[in-house]
Amino acid sequence: MVYILMICMVVPLLLLIPMLEKQSRLLLGFVLGGMVLAVCAYEINSVVCALFSLSGPELSITAAPIVEEILKALPVLFFALFVSDDRKLVLQLAMASGIGFAILENAFLLITYVDQVDIVWAVVRGISTSLSHGICTMIVGNGIVYVRKQKKLFYTGTFALLTASMTLHAIFNLLIQSSYDYIALALPIVLYLLYWVTKLRL
């Protein structure tokens, strides 16, 4: 089912890419890349879950944040290292990668649990969870622009950025399954608003 969803979403958008300007094409390309990476994450998480006999909640706070944040960060790291280190553009592409990932993940969960979801679920997933994925990837994108220029910090800095994004992801997943789920829902929204407040003041 996850492959059918990906094909239904990615193919029509691929047809749109040639009609777009360069930067719009890049953004849409990273959204599509995020969708494809969501499928990769699904496969890897399934293997890890079977190998270590993890339950869904256990997977979501242990292996899944590691797998998903590494995958989402790969195209962003490649772009920042080999194409352009323009901070504004890298942040946009990082958010696009995370949002693309969230779109396919949300669609798959909707199909899987169609009898248990409602409008509230859709709004929550559409805003909070999508922002969570995007912000975690933006952490890596924001830091790699600086770290790539510091030879002594490159490897440890990249590891630290990935670790920070994985930790935030794991905290979100842990809180969303607890009685403090309202904190998890508010956290990415607050971080996103802080980003825009900081951006407007600079």
What are the DSSP calls for 115-134, one per residue? GG--HHHHHHIIIIIHHHHH
- The span from the CA of 134 to the CA of 146, in Å, is 19
Per-residue pLDDT, 2: 84
Instruction: Decide if 144 contacts 159 (C-beta within 8 A).
Output: no
Q: What is the pLDDT of residues 72-124, one digit of tens each?
A: 999 999 999 999 989 999 999 999 999 999 999 999 988 888 888 889 889 88
- pTM attached to this predicted model: 0.93
pLDDT of 189 above 80: yes
Share of residues in the chain with pLDDT > 70 (%): 100
Per-residue pLDDT, 202: 63
Q: Which of 4-8, 30-34, 149-153, 195-199 has the highest mean pLDDT?
A: 30-34
